[in-house]
A = this chain, B = another copy of it.
Amino acid sequence: MTKPLKIAIAGLGTVGGGIVKMVQKHGALLEKRAGKAIEITAVSARSRGKDRGVDLSGYAWEDNPVALSQRDDVDLVIEVMGGEDGPAKACVETALQNGKHVVTANKAMLALHGQSMAEMAENSGVALRYEAAVAGGIPIVKALTEGLAGNGITRVMGVMNGTCNYILTEMERTGAAYADVLKDAQALGYAEADPSVDVGGIDAAHKLSLLSSVAFGTKVDFASVQIEGIERVSLADIKNARDMGFSIKLLGVSRMNADGLEQRMQPCLVPANSPLGQLDGVSNMVVVDGDFIGQTVYQGPGAGEGPTASAILGDVMDIARGLVIPVFGQPAAGLSNSEASRAGSDAAYYLRFSLQDQAGVLATLATILGNFGVSINRMHQYSHGGQSAPLVIVTHATSRTALDQALAEISALPASLAAPIALRIETL
């Protein structure tokens, strides 16, 4: 038998513990599949004494995760501490510089430092893998970089934050308001005490920026992702969308336009009867369009101990089998510095206005939209008691730039009672 692959785990929280369980449970199976044993040699975490429900007695302990990356008896370091800088970054960089493979679940770190880390890994001839950082257990990085490697990718999109999808699904199912559902989600452990990274779209945008790089051969450019969270999605919008056959999802979309790379993470309307529209609860889903393959869809658990450990182990197994490919699917040094697409792609939009109920307002609004070339596909004025007339419009495909100009002008009308809501309708 070949020499074992010796691995170290930095971070023994839920995910780190899951990895230990998986290696301990499936040792013989992993060895058969990889052609060599996967052997945990050392671990590191903040508190050594804590009971984690797994037997760590056979592994060396390091208080400092960076020390794992310097051990002679370690071939591969798994980083599951989290944190975009600090110890996680130091641990990963030290490992790469010392010629050790790295597998990480750290989306924030890679969204910020992915390019430099990829260059480091490729210079050292080692693998840097991050399946668990993108869509939990779903092997989507693998599908894009390997399974679909013969295709030109035309679009990647998906629901990549289970917390947001749970909240939106529950709002639609129960008719409860955003704040109430968020509170429930926190009680159930689906949302953090400080939920802003999730509901603000940041976490999902980190993931999207990695997928963009893989899909389009561009340097990771998190700063250019247009991010909008779900905090402003109202029950009224969810209900109106449903009436017209749509669901609202926090949807990431990445696409290469003539003027550059478009990356958006924002609440969108998608057809309610599409796979994305039907995605309930904390699941994730990624939809990939390729020029030869057409459309493929990948669905699975987006987080949690087992799914994340599964994604990590998948990467470890590849490395054990000798697969070392460029971090983003082609050499990091050759990734392009794409401009961010200013115009973005045209789309139809769902618009909701709160207007004073007075003669002539509708005509003024329609005129302004028309002046900017925004044409109306459907319109519905809801019956109302007070002086505010809720008006919903679905446009034909339009440029966002023109739409924003029109909306600014409408906002400035004396009859406008609140800023208009504009949600993109993504076609499938």
Contact = CB atoms under 8 A, between A and B. Distances in A.
Interface of A: 18, 22, 25-26, 29-30, 32-35, 131, 137-139, 142-143, 145-152, 217, 273, 275, 278, 290-301, 304, 306-307, 309-314, 316-318, 321-323, 325-326, 329-331, 334
Contacts of A151: 26, 310, 313
Q: Describe A's contact surface by its main secondary structure.
A: mixed
Contacts of A298: 296-299
A331 B32 contact: yes
Contacts of A142: 139, 142-143, 146-147
Contacts of A329: 33
A147 B294 contact: no
A296 B138 contact: yes
A290 B25 CA distance: 13
A146 B30 CA distance: 11
A299 to B, nearest CB: 4
Contact of A149 (B137, B278, B314): B314
A316 B150 contact: yes
Nearest to A314: B147
Contacts of A307: 292-294
A296 B330 contact: no
B309 A150 contact: yes
Contacts of A331: 32, 35
B294 A26 contact: no
Contacts of A299: 275, 296-299
A278 B131 CA distance: 28
A316 B148 CA distance: 11
Given A298-B297, A299-B296, A139 B150 contact: no
Given A146-B142, A150-B22, A297-B300, A292 B321 contact: no
Contacts of A22: 150, 292
Contacts of A138: 296
18 contacts: A18-B292, A29-B217, A30-B149, A32-B331, A32-B334, A131-B147, A138-B296, A146-B317, A146-B318, A150-B317, A290-B310, A292-B309, A294-B301, A294-B306, A295-B301, A299-B299, A321-B325, A322-B323
Nearest to A31: B330
Given A150-B313, A296-B300, A321-B323, 12 more contacts: A22-B292, A29-B217, A33-B149, A137-B293, A142-B146, A147-B311, A148-B314, A149-B317, A150-B310, A273-B278, A296-B298, A297-B300
A107 B247 CA distance: 39
Contacts of A306: 291-294
Contacts of A278: 273, 275, 278
Nearest to A320: B149
Contacts of A290: 310
A386 B341 CA distance: 69
A152 B292 contact: no
A300 B323 CA distance: 26
A244 to B, nearest CB: 20
Contact of A275 (B30, B275, B312): B275
B293 A301 contact: yes
Contacts of A330: 32-33
Contacts of A318: 146, 149
A294 B322 CA distance: 27
Contacts of A273: 278
Contacts of A313: 149-151, 292
Nearest to A310: B293
Given A152-B29, A275-B299, A331-B32, A137 B317 contact: no
A274 to B, nearest CB: 9
Contacts of A323: 321-323
Q: Which 8 A-B pairs have the closest CB atoms?
A: A150-B313, A139-B147, A296-B300, A293-B310, A292-B306, A149-B317, A297-B299, A137-B293
Given A294-B137, A298-B298, A301-B294, A148 B310 contact: yes
